[in-house]
Amino acid sequence: MSIEQTLSIVKPDGVEKNVIGECFRRFEKGGLKIIATKMIHMDRAKAEGFYAVHKERPFFDSLVQFMTRGPVVVSVLEGENAIAKNREIMGATNPEAAAEGTIRKDFASNIEENTVHGSDGPDTAKFEISYFFETNEIFSR
């Protein structure tokens, strides 16, 4: 077990559905601390850069369109095994496959509009956190 940090995004559909607080509640209830957070509206270049690893995928253009249609809430979560814990709280990418009681099971519309994003590993977490936050905006505790 180790203390990790991970990037969380409440996506445009999550903001539209008014479940920012519900997502935060589940993170905190799961033992994760919100150590940085802000609301931003990504432009196309920012979203394309964030999802650059997916640029050859057929859903890339649609994903960028979706992620730029409204504001999102980006946060840094910290805790024991925070990366895996956050993914457990979120549930599977496709809400049809997500476990009961997960954010995606309860709120996601479909595999694209799936309410939340979470880093999938330590290297990704490091890149994704630095993509949105300066060191002096993160309050590790």
Q: How far apart are CA 68 and CA 28, in angstroms?
A: 27
Quickly list H helices, the chain. 12-16, 20-29, 44-50, 60-67, 82-90, 103-107, 122-132
Q: Which region, judged by CB under 6 A, interacts with ligand CMP, from 32-40, 78-86, 109-117, 127-135?
A: 109-117
Backbone angles phi, psi at 112, to 5 degrees: -85, -55
Size of the site for ligand CMP (CB under 6 A): 8
Residue with tokens 């980006």: 74
CB atoms within 10 A of CB 134: 8
Token digits of residue 131: 């993509």
Q: Which region, judged by CB under 6 A, interacts with ligand CMP, from 17-25, 37-45, 72-80, 112-120?
A: 112-120
131 interacts with ligand CMP by CB under 6 A: no
Build a one-symbol-per-residue string for 35-64: x at contacts with ligand CMP by CB under 6 A, - elsewhere.
-------------------x----x---x-
Of 95, 115, 117, 132, which is the active-site residue?
117
- Name residue 5's beta-bridge partners: 78
What's the half-sphere exposure (Cβ side, CA atoms, 13 Å) at 2?
5
111 interacts with ligand CMP by CB under 6 A: yes
Q: Which region, judged by CB under 6 A, interacts with ligand CMP, from 21-29, 35-43, 110-118, 132-140?
A: 110-118
Shortest Cβ 32–ligand CMP spacing (Å): 17
Q: Which residues bind ligand CMP (CB under 6 A)?
A: 54, 59, 63, 93, 111-112, 114, 117
